[in-house]
Amino acid sequence: MNKKLTRTLFAGMVLLATSAAWADTQVQYDKPDQFTDLPFDQSQRDSVLKDLTAHFEQLGKKLPAGQNLQINITDIDLAGREDPRLRGISDIRVMNGRVDWPRIRLHYVLEQNGKVISSADSSLSDMSYLSRINRYSSGDRLRYEKLMIDDWFTNTFGIDAQAKR
For the entire predicted model, the pTM comes to 0.79
Question: Reduced to 3 states, what is the DSSP secondary structure of residue 156?
Answer: helix
Distance (Å) of CA 51 to CA 48, 58, 92, 118, 164: 5, 10, 18, 25, 19
All domains in the chain, ordered by first residue: 23-157 (3.40.50)
C-alpha to C-alpha distance for 143 and 134, rounded to whole angstroms? 7
Model pLDDT, residue 135: 92
**Secondary structure of 52-92 in HEC code, one letter for each residue:** HHHHHHHHHCCCCCCEEEEEEEEEEECCCEECHHHCCCCCC
Instruction: Using DSSP bridges, classify how beta strands 103-112 and 115-125 pair: parallel, antiparallel or unpaired.
Output: antiparallel
Per-residue model confidence as pLDDT tens for the chain (165 residues): 555 544 444 444 444 444 445 579 999 999 999 998 888 788 989 999 999 999 999 999 999 999 999 999 999 999 877 665 555 555 565 556 566 899 999 999 999 998 999 999 999 999 988 889 999 998 999 999 999 999 999 999 999 998 876
